[in-house]
Structure 1
């Protein structure tokens, strides 16, 4: 943002607000009673200003935005107070009048664009429809305007992509389409509800830069909803902190970060992982956990998670290649393949955490699934204590999986909703014949307590737990078989910052207690820095850089590693006027024609055990 733009933001505070929310209270009907979920919320958004509402899941952020837009079901919700858009009370409008406001005067970007875009219509038609609903405009003019908008949000080849469908776009590009649709009628207010939470760090940086730029060009106000204080520092002029339906603190973003008074505000700030937390010994570092009632935090402790000095690694992956064939034509002949993992090699020692990092589509998860033979590789060796997993028969493979367990990104999808969590924990223990039902129950109780839950919860079902608790259950289940190594596939990516800190600390504590090894798959470089002993960076199915944590973070050599590190949000409001200027190209396609063989890659050793791919 230029100095003139910054001055205009400061001057906007003296102008009449675009949005004025007064004493907003929203309640949901639970049986025959009204249960308030947000209570007496008041705030203003001035012209060209960005106001962030921050808080964790359940704090009432999204309900606030849906109340403003009147998108809650009328039968089961009750919204009280005033929502004034340039002096006009939106809560007093009829539904027909409100439809004219949505999209024209106020637009909204939702967290998950795939649930907001119609999968059976091309994206160009969907944006054009938003234009034609609110403006008297011909199809030809609408198409021309849509192409202008697609170029404005930096979608390459806009003319070609006009006719493409949502599934043909990456997550970051789908979010750009949603922004183009939201901006179609040049709204006075843009509500962005967690628009970057599910995105890779580089895509997130691009989207934040894009919103800043478009705000400058269009002169609109932005209400930005998030749980990430690093994102708040990058975008917001003022910040509202919500906790369990109440506003606990509000003020200029710089003041909140420097002089935040409420314990919950300090807890949110302390939970944001920051680059540069590497300790002198190079050991993993626990996250600070602040008490939300007192604001106090115990000293952050370095772990004692040292790596085994045994010569033989626990796990060795050699020249692993996994491809997915693409069939076409009447007879389903192979016309090509997705080269998901291409000739990668690495090892993990006992007690070590190797982090595999990169953007979506780079092959991280396929690598993890290939190691467990949940996906069948085409080539390579996967040696566990010297035994090749790819050559095992069915019974031997079943036995091997006791030694390697996996924690998936979405615990709700990996837990059976029809059985209690006690039964989910006991089942693998009994299936492998490791003891009696009483033994299994005793071990389940012990592990639940180890992950911060209790035995009384064993009769509950997955839907009765929060996201963080479900992830703890998934971790406990993985430990039921006493594995030597755990593949954690984006195990904390979808969690709120403080829950993420708690779960990461739990994994570090369990590593200390059980001498576990981890393959930690993630796109979050700030988290990776704290939990890892070594780091491998993946791009287009290949490892482009690998080495000790300190070497990779302090002396990155590959351009892609540098790009990932530069995209991490910095929780410093003084940097809000800066742009990251990250390239907007999508990750190149890993699809190759039939018969294609990748070139043999060469690596040079930068320092001891620090290797980078020679391009």
Structure 2
């Protein structure tokens, strides 16, 4: 058998050459800072063979992304310096002119970035952008470029590819935009694909689809892949070999299975120890703190079970009944209402003092809108919200302001939610002063105490947000949320963008604060492994509705709804023995929650499959 797959350069069954596609030797990258050169990547060396996937792993600041940008020569020339050797297909890249390097990018090597929306031009259609990548690197006509673009879109599993040629980036979901970026990267059939955190911001099901897609395309095209990530679960499932980076240096290199089973460097062991594993909570009724891991030594403490129970015989501190939130869609010459986005539809649940209820689901399922509706940051259309005995939806502006002292929110991106012109002392003090709970002196004293409580110190109060790391900024946001002594905190994807060690620290902090202050958490997340660790109960949302809700141990131990099972099946498992496994997840996106004018949601029926474990009966769905 020596047939060639359609659109592929690699004959099936033909052995690939083991001559490296990419060879990096003593790569050293420095940046000009305050008049002096500061080295951020030091003497990194590795090869990538045809058809091989090499992963570079490490936390933020380890130098992994700078390594990939140095290889592609995408760093600013006037403020960066790259030394060493980078050989791609026999070409020494560091000695090429800018014009020659432009021919290499896209032709011999292509790159996928973490956030596709910053890489796609919003004013051009996706078809035009992919076609441009083709016409720049090959002598083909407009009709040929269109046909090849449609073939590429089909190859990356874009449904109805021909009809979506003229769509713009904003008309695609996050997962579909990432597929478009992969199609663009594959346009000239490069020998090397560099994927820089391509799945970090994606939901677990979309992430699973992208990983499967890269594996399939690699097999068909025989590409070498350099995969940059901090997710050890992703590394285990996709990489042949792994390079662990720490403070700009490659501290350990080897086969992925050897790295996972017999990692030698303390930082490697620390990274692996910090990874939350789905299923690790089996046999534990209450949430567990993450083990404290010393990232320098790799030493790990035994996790402590969070003490105390949740008394559900008392009155819930928050009761939500039949909550619905919709956003009208207008169009046409007269701006008539054409329909509505049914973001939240008939959602009901209780939340008790000292309890964590997790809302899980993919982007667009309505979990964040539920949190914002409860705080009345968006106005619900129907339902009832009872917060500590008060009807939230019938409060006037003044009373609502007072009520918000009892419920605060922590957002996903701390940098976006902190004022860059205010010191953190002023940021944490401001709510206390604004609500008249103390003088400025008293507010600063309380702010100092809160910063100390979240693991920072009072002498940091004069600093600005940009002077802190991502994990420290999230701690500042937690301190600000605690300033008004709330009873409920809505944590909206508050740890999703953090490195594994920082994520563990912040989750432990939240659980410690919950135990000492009897806080109730509405924990909004798509990270199933973290949710399993920190929550008492879990509610799974799909298309604005809860499809399964119950105690964490029952939902995770005996998932009943097909969507819940799909979410769990998509979670990357840090086990290299699964490297060849295909999840075979459907390449469809979350269905649209847009409904026409006059739409009436069907009555939903739930069945109880365990104590407090309710699952929606799909046969009753419209």
Q: Which residue of 2 aligns with 1:95?
A: 98
SS of equivalent to 1:212: helix
Distance 2:195 2:14 in 1: 21
Q: 1:498 aligns with which of 501, 504, 507?
A: 501
User: How do 1:213-612 and structure 2 match up within 5 A?
Assistant: 213-278=216-281, 280-612=283-615
Question: 1:440 Cα shift?
Answer: 1.2
Distance 1:31 1:137 in 2: 48
Distance 2:494 2:478 in 1: 9
Residue by residue over 1:40-99, the C-alpha shift from the partner in whole angstroms, topping out at 9 and shown as x without a partner, is 111111111100000011110110000000100100000001000122100000000000
Q: Which residue of 2 aligns with 1:137?
A: 140
Distance 2:35 2:181 in 1: 38
Residue by residue over 1:555-591, the C-alpha shift from the partner in whole angstroms, topping out at 9 and shown as x without a partner, is 1110000000000000000100010111111111001
Question: 1:263 Cα shift?
Answer: 1.1
User: How do 1:99-114 and structure 2 match up within 5 A?
Assistant: 99-114=102-117
Decide whether the 8 Å contact of 1:284 with 1:305 is kept in 2: no
Residue by residue over 1:5-58, the C-alpha shift from the partner in whole angstroms, topping out at 9 and shown as x without a partner, is xxx99986x822110000100000012111111011111111111000000111
Residue by residue over 1:250-297, the C-alpha shift from the partner in whole angstroms, topping out at 9 and shown as x without a partner, is 100000000001111111111111111225341001112221222211
Decide whether the 8 Å contact of 2:270 with 2:297 is kept in 1: no
Cα RMSD of the aligned pairs, angstroms, is: 1.3
Q: Does 1:39 align with 2:42?
A: yes
Q: 2:83 aligns with which of 80, 84, 87?
A: 80
Q: Does 1:30 align with 2:22?
A: no
Which range moved further: 271-280 or 446-455?
Answer: 271-280
Which range moved further: 532-541 or 332-341?
Answer: 332-341
Aligned CA distance change for structure 1 residues 432 and 62 (closer, same or farther; 3 Å): same
Decide whether the 8 Å contact of 1:9 with 1:47 is kept in 2: no
Distance 1:495 1:371 in 2: 26
Decide whether the 8 Å contact of 1:356 with 1:535 is kept in 2: yes
User: How do 1:164-179 and structure 2 match up within 5 A?
Assistant: 164-179=167-182
Distance 2:575 2:13 in 1: 18
Question: 1:309 Cα shift?
Answer: 4.0
Q: Which residue of 2 aligns with 1:3?
A: none
Which range moved further: 68-77 or 382-391?
Answer: 382-391
Decide whether the 8 Å contact of 1:336 with 1:592 is kept in 2: yes
Q: Which residue of 1 aligns with 2:6?
A: none
Question: 1:305 Cα shift?
Answer: 4.3
User: How do 1:60-79 and structure 2 match up within 5 A?
Assistant: 60-79=63-82
Residue by residue over 1:147-198, the C-alpha shift from the partner in whole angstroms, topping out at 9 and shown as x without a partner, is 1110000000001100000000000000000000000111000000000000
* Structure 1: runs of 5+ lacking an equivalent: 1-7
Which range moved further: 338-347 or 308-317?
Answer: 308-317
Distance 1:300 1:136 in 2: 61
Residue by residue over 1:582-602, the C-alpha shift from the partner in whole angstroms, topping out at 9 and shown as x without a partner, is 111111100111111111111
Distance 1:19 1:499 in 2: 33
User: How do 1:110-121 and structure 2 match up within 5 A?
Assistant: 110-121=113-124
SS of equivalent to 1:216: helix
Distance 1:24 1:420 in 2: 38
SS of equivalent to 2:101: helix
Aligned length: 607
Distance 1:569 1:504 in 2: 20
TM-score (norm 1): 0.97
Decide whether the 8 Å contact of 1:369 with 1:375 is kept in 2: yes
Question: 1:313 Cα shift?
Answer: 0.6
Distance 2:571 2:23 in 1: 33
Which range moved further: 385-394 or 228-237?
Answer: 385-394
Distance 1:469 1:308 in 2: 33
Residue by residue over 1:290-325, the C-alpha shift from the partner in whole angstroms, topping out at 9 and shown as x without a partner, is 212222111111111421344211100000000000
Distance 1:57 1:9 in 2: 40
Residue by residue over 1:191-236, the C-alpha shift from the partner in whole angstroms, topping out at 9 and shown as x without a partner, is 0000000000000000000000000000010000000100000100
* Structure 2: runs of 5+ lacking an equivalent: 1-11
Decide whether the 8 Å contact of 2:282 with 2:557 is kept in 1: no
Decide whether the 8 Å contact of 1:9 with 1:48 is kept in 2: no
Distance 2:417 2:501 in 1: 23
Decide whether the 8 Å contact of 2:292 with 2:302 is kept in 1: no
Decide whether the 8 Å contact of 1:25 with 1:41 is kept in 2: yes
Q: Which residue of 2 aligns with 1:4?
A: none
SS of equivalent to 1:297: coil
Distance 1:10 1:557 in 2: 45
Distance 2:14 2:530 in 1: 34
SS of equivalent to 1:254: helix
